[in-house]
Amino acid sequence: MEIPAGLGRVLVIIPTYNERDNIERIAGRVREAVPSVDVLVVDDASPDGTGEAADAMAAADEQIKVLHRQGKEGLGPAYIAGFRWAAEHGYDVMVEMDADGSHQPEELPRLLAALEDADLVIGARWVPGGRVRNWPKRREALSRGANTYARVMLGIPLHDSTGGYRAFRAATLEKIGLEGVDSRGYCFQIDLALRALRQGLRVVEVPITFVERVHGTSKMSRDVMAEAALRITQWGMSDRIGKIRGPG
């Protein structure tokens, strides 16, 4: 598939921490699905050798790049580092994608096609046509509940604001600003979507099939979930207080 006319240069950003068993496979699938995109692996000093594996891929394929960071700081800072690297190197579109295979590179063409008429496209599980494979019922209920809470608390129209498979125009990230973003875990995704909506930008959800990882361990933790719940509550209450007080 060719990149839709008008989108320009596309970079797929893949943060990694201990993903040696997955990174070669997922990068290869990206390159096969959309050969004209570039891939940036953002590695947080993985002790399992993920960074070295990424360097070997980059040496063999000039469309694969690697950004090494000093240590594990969380999903949000890794993506922000990737976004800034992309901006410095003149990319027009930045795609977020997990390294573990849960996001299907073969669905990337649909996200890019939707971006022609949008500022941000989110690959969504909880919309008609979206689905999840190999998740226990408890985890599905947790994700659905978190997204419902975010939708109600924040007053946003999105059904999968926590979804991490998404495509931004560079101009979108520039407009929403990254300087004040300090979310570290999965609430980073809600944060950016909320900022885009508040700027009046067009955010579109495209159904995807999310597949639970086969190799490695999930980065989800109690701390990550607690941060998301706390921040959603803070943002929602701040909005409500602001409306009560009114302008000025």
pLDDT in tens, 4-46: 888 999 999 999 999 999 999 999 999 999 999 999 999 999 9
Count the helices and strands in the chain (H runs, E runs).
8, 9
| Nearest to 175, CA basis, from 156, 163, 192 | 192
Model pLDDT for residues 36-90, shown as the tens digit of each residue:
999 999 999 999 999 999 999 999 999 999 999 999 888 899 999 999 999 999 9
| Nearest to 201, CA basis, from 166, 243, 247 | 166
Give the torsion sign (CA, 135, 141, 146, 147).
positive
CATH 1.10.10.410 fits 10-240, yes or no: no
Query: Rounded to an integer, what distance in angstroms lies between the CA atom of residue 9 and that of residue 7?
Result: 7
Question: Over 90: is that where the pLDDT of 114 sits?
Answer: yes
Query: Rounded to an integer, what distance in angstroms lies between the CA atom of residue 107 and that of residue 208?
Result: 7
Q: What is the mean pLDDT of the chain?
A: 89
Residues in contact with 181: Cβ distance below 8 Å, sequence separation at least 6, in sequence order = 76, 80, 188, 191, 192, 195
Confidence of residue 216 (pLDDT cuts 50, 70, 90): low
